[in-house]
Each structure stands twice: as structure tokens, then as C-alpha cells.
Structure 1
Amino acid sequence: MARVRGDLAHVRRHAPLAVALWALLAGGVVLTAASPRDVALGLVLTALLVPIALIDVAVRLIPNWATAAGAFAAVALGLATDPAAVGDQLLAGAAAAALLLLAALARPGDMGMGDVKLAGMLGLFLGAEVAVALLAGFVAAALAGLVLLIRHGAAGARRATLPLGPFLALGAAVALYAGAPLLDAYLTGLG
């Protein structure tokens, strides 16, 4: 419990920012969601993403309590609103976590297990649209890395670390608002 209080202290320090970010994200969910189920999943997801991103920026750690609570909430909401879709949610969560686990194992120290768990949680909330979230998050992180490289040179950029959680949260927001159309357009282009 002390760990949770410590983590939430980082969020409280930036409460106006946290509230503004959540209001912006939640407003977007309400305006763009296709169904009441999507609204419920999106609102809970955004309520988790804001503190996760703020905590990751502050301490370079994604808390287990947040990803565990998120995973539980995603499955519970899925069961309550569309039990037939829960299998797809579980598959998307497992696939997203496996992808980041492979990356974490390939380059230990570059990505933490919190990022892996966050990806799995995002898959549980977003289903197949987690692919859009991961792609958008990695593109945003790569652009931020490029900015670091330009500002600080190669040596300075290597010493700097960027937490991945905020970029995955940004990717999740992209997926919440435009994931289905982007995924449909991509899959249509393949066929």
C-alpha cells in the first residue's frame, strides 16, 4: 500500500495536468466511441493511462498495481458488455505483451517488464487495435529519440533515457480515436 501511495504522490503533484489530460482524453472517447461498450472501456483505460504516464516519467517505472488493475477491469468490462469478445481481448493482450517481451529480451535494459505488462493491458482494452497503439507509440518514441539525438548528439542521446509508457499511452489514445478506421484501411489495402 505504501508503494501505491508513493506512486500516486507523483500524480497528485501534477493534479491539474492529470485532470486536464484525462478530461481531454475522456472527451475524445465520448465523442469518437462507436458503442457504449467502447465508451466504458475507453474511459477506464484513459483513467489508468494518465497516472501510468506521469508515474513512468517521474520514476521510470510502470507500477504493477496499475497494470494489474487495468487488466482486471478490461476483462471484467468485457465480460459484462460482450462476453463473446473476451477471447479476442485475451489474444490481443497476449500478443502485445509477447511482442514487447521479445523486444525486452533482445535488448535487456532498453525496455522494462512494466512496458511489457502495459502492452498486454492495452491489448485487453483495445483488442486488435492494439497494433495501432503500439505502432503509434513506437513512432512517437522514435521521433522523441531523434529530437534527443539532434539536441545532444550521439553520445548525449545514448546517455538519455526515455520512458516508453507515455508513448504507449499516446499510441493508445490514437487507437481509441482512430484505431478501427486505420486498421480497417490497412487490412483493406492488404486484400
Structure 2
Amino acid sequence: MIIVLSSCGRYIKNSDNRTEKFFVSWNIATANSIQLQENFTNDDYQKSLYQNRLQAFKAYIDIVNLNELNTKSIRYKLINQYLNDWNNKFYIVEANESGEVSTKISYVILQNSRDSSKVLKYIYKNGKWEKVEQYELSPAFKFHRENFITEYGVGKNENDITVTFIEDNNIISSDFFLNFTMKQIDIFNK
């Protein structure tokens, strides 16, 4: 089956806008993480899953070239709506739920202090993002990829998860976890 996506001039290249630069950098970092995971596995089945996820990711943000900007993308809409509400050091955890109806969920984790973090949960509904929940985490959320990765099939995540760390509007890291490759993450236990 071949799916053809087309657009009518909604892509912009090399913009100076903070949100637009953030969007492009975030997409590149996430795609690089997916490709890196594919390169690290020797299993042909897992390689095919990562290749599929990269194509699905590009369809999700509705771009072909990672340097393109799509202001109608769900990811773009999240940061365009809320980026100015977040502090200068935070995580975005994308934990989309698959099923008959796919639910787009993003958690933004703000570092309150050394002892606690604030979690903001957003769900994409009716063409826009809505903040649906807010709660505190104690101790503070800390993410180190090597503490969360596990072999395929052993992990707790039923859906793919991406954890992106941002500091001073720069993407520091974006780590993609294929379904069943991530150990339990505390933010979902609330």
C-alpha cells in the first residue's frame, strides 16, 4: 500500500521564529534517535519496526524533509500553544496511545526544585491541545536513557514513547523507545 501526502504551500524553510526553530530541531533529534536505535539492533524484525516508526513519525508531523516546517502539525501546535508557559528547563514525554482511536498525549515535566517536578498532561482533542491534568512528582523527575532502556519485549511501555529534554530553548536530547523497550516511568503512575 502506498500513501501519498501532499500539501499546498504550508512549509517554510529557514525561519527565524523561536517556535519554528524549536520544532525543526525537535523533529531532527527524534528522527536521529529512531535511526540510532535501528543501527544498534542486529535483529531484522526490530530494524523493520524502527524503519516503520521513522516513516510513521514523518507522517505524524506531516513532513518529508526534517528541515521543513509544518505549522499544522500536532507537534507544532503543542509548542506554539504552550512553549511560552514552560520554564527554561523541561522534558516533553510523548506517550501516544494506539488502538481503534489513537490518542495523542504529551506530558511536560517542569523542574520545580531539586526535590520535586510539576507534570502537565496534555491531550490533543478537536484540533487543539488541552491541558487536562497537573500534578507534582516527588522526588524530582530525572531521566537518563540508560536507566530506562531494556531489551525488546521486556519493557513496560505498550506504545512508543519519546522523551525529549530541553534547556534554554535547545533540544539537549530526544530518546525514542519502541514499544516494550522501556522500563517503568514514574510519570504514568499518577
If the TM-score is normalised by the length of the shorter chain, which range does it land in? under 0.3
Q: Give the TM-score taking structure 2 as reference length.
A: 0.28
Bigger relative CO (Cα 8 Å, ≥ 6 apart) = 1
Compute the TM-score of the two structures, normalised by the length of structure 1.
Answer: 0.28
